[in-house]
């Protein structure tokens, strides 16, 4: 927030907040206050959609809401961009009817708020076009870019680079024709053909023009805009696969005893009017206990301190599919929780995730991740990409009935429910022998499930 005076009464410009350490942009949700409303510290001003969740922004200033600069639905607004104005006196509200921050000032504030650098392990979102205030001045028509260096603000350079947009295709409206963030956002909002036309040299008179007719061999398509969450997933998992030396171990778990225990426990829970346990709840508990047995897997690659960080508690991140993308809310201290508590926590977190209502502390961090596709039935097994900086992720496939040998009986066979699991590990942190020990411990807990109750 910044106080301003100039030709307006004393006022405070409210900027897009950074509601998490990795947030670089957000979408404007529902405004909880209207123009003319009195605001005191702690009041919820507006809902902000980040790359992970819909969050309420609590104002820390006291005053009167004089102007809403970005209405509900504004997309990809960079952190630090002005979103509203507060004044000190109710009688001054009318004077802000036509208030609009200058593009240069808005870009400067956004540049100041933007993080200078983001660690490779931290999720980041690639900022895209933000909705501009209706009263912003119209942009000048695109002109041919001057030869040589293009002058641009740091934020403009970042936005352009993250969207693969050459700076020489952008008409600058800042001081001395400098390209500012608003220019990049305006250009991104234009159709691709307009941007290409601005960059391309004019064709000589009489030269053949490029055909705009779609080839009959071109497959029809639709470009679906990326959500903030999808941008983070793309960047984060792309970095993981490119920079982490993955290796994979697969095991087959006989689930008959675990399923029988689940049946018995669910009968007791149903009689008490409580929710049922899922197979995934058993998987979470078994994973947490195995991390206690083999703590070297409960770790992370930590280049900031030149070390491997070993965690003292099993904070299990559980992958949840939502309409916007994948998110991993965390069951904290799962090693110390009972199955009923784990089940309640997973159910609560999954519900919040699908409603886009997770708070930052509910999805940030974690020491180990589980991705379960077993509920889809047709998935026998798969490999998952590590969620950095964690050292491992467990992929759970579906259960199937197989003929297996009865333990201790060479010539006796029986039909059993079996489940394949695959552990992806970071070879910088976890050696193969260590991950094999963890997988054996995990398998034992599910095949001898009474040990999870002790």
8 Å CB contact between 387 and 369? yes
Chain center to CA of 26: 11
Which residues, 6 or more positions from 287, have their beta carbon under 8 angstroms from its beta carbon?
Answer: 314, 316, 334, 368, 370, 394, 442
Residues paired with 246 in a beta bridge: 426
Which residues, 6 or more positions from 406, have their beta carbon under 8 angstroms from its beta carbon?
Answer: 412, 413, 414
8 Å CB contact between 83 and 46? yes
Query: What is the distance between the alpha carbons of residues 311 and 294, in angstroms, rounded to a whole number?
Result: 11
Active-site annotation holds for 431: yes
Helix axes 256-271, 279-293, angle to 10 degrees: 120
Determine how β-strand 54-58 pairs with β-strand 44-49. Answer: antiparallel
Active-site annotation holds for 381: no
CA 334 to each of CA 313, 410, 447: distance values in angstroms, whole numbers, following the listed order: 8, 38, 19
Catalytic residue of the set 92, 315, 410, 431: 431
Catalytic residue of the set 37, 348, 361, 427: 427
8 Å CB contact between 283 and 372? yes
Catalytic residue positions, numbered: 427, 431
């Amino acid at each position: 927030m910044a106080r301003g005076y100039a030709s307006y009464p004393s006022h405070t410009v409210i900027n897009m907040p950074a509601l998490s350490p990795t947030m670089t942009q957000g979408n404007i949700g529902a405004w909880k206050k209207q123009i003319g409303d009195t605001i005191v510290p702690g009041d919820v001003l507006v809902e902000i959609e980040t790359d992970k969740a819909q969050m309420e922004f609590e104002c820390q200033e006291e005053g009167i809401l004089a102007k809403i600069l970005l209405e509900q639905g504004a997309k990809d607004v960079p952190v630090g961009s002005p979103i509203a104005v507060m004044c000190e006196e109710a009688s001054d509200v009318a004077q802000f009817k036509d208030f609009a921050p200058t593009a240069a000032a808005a870009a400067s504030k956004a540049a100041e708020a933007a993080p200078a650098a983001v660690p490779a392990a931290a999720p980041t979102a690639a900022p895209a076009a933000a909705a501009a205030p209706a009263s912003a001045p119209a942009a000048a028509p695109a002109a041919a870019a001057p030869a040589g260096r293009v002058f641009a603000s740091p934020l403009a350079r970042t936005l352009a680079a993250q969207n693969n947009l050459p700076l020489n295709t952008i008409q600058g409206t800042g001081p001395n024709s400098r390209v500012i963030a608003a220019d990049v956002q305006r250009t991104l909002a234009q159709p691709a053909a307009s941007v290409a036309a601005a960059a391309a040299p004019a064709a000589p008179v009489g030269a053949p023009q490029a055909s705009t007719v779609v080839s009959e061999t071109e497959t029809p398509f639709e470009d679906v805009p990326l959500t903030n969450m999808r941008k983070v997933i793309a960047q984060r998992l792309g970095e993981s696969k490119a920079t982490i030396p993955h290796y994979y171990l697969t095991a087959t778990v006989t689930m008959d005893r675990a399923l029988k225990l689940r049946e018995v426990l669910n009968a007791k829970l149903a009689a008490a009017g409580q929710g049922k346990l899922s197979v995934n709840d058993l998987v979470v508990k078994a994973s947490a206990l195995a991390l206690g047995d083999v703590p070297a897997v409960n770790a992370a690659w930590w280049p900031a301190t030149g070390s491997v960080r070993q965690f003292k508690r099993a904070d299990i991140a559980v992958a949840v599919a939502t309409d916007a993308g994948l998110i991993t809310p965390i069951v904290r201290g799962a090693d110390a929780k009972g199955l009923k508590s784990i089940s309640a926590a997973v159910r609560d977190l999954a519900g919040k995730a699908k409603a886009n209502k997770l708070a930052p502390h509910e999805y940030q961090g974690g020491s180990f991740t589980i991705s379960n596709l077993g509920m889809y039935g047709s998935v026998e097994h798969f490999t998952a990409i590590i969620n950095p900086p964690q050292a491992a992720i467990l992929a759970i496939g579906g259960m199937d009935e197989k003929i297996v040998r009865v333990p201790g009986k060479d010539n006796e066979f029986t039909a059993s429910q079996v489940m394949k699991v695959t552990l992806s590990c970071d070879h910088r942190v976890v050696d193969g022998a260590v991950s094999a020990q963890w997988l054996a411990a995990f398998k034992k807990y599910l095949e001898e499930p009474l040990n999870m109750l002790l």
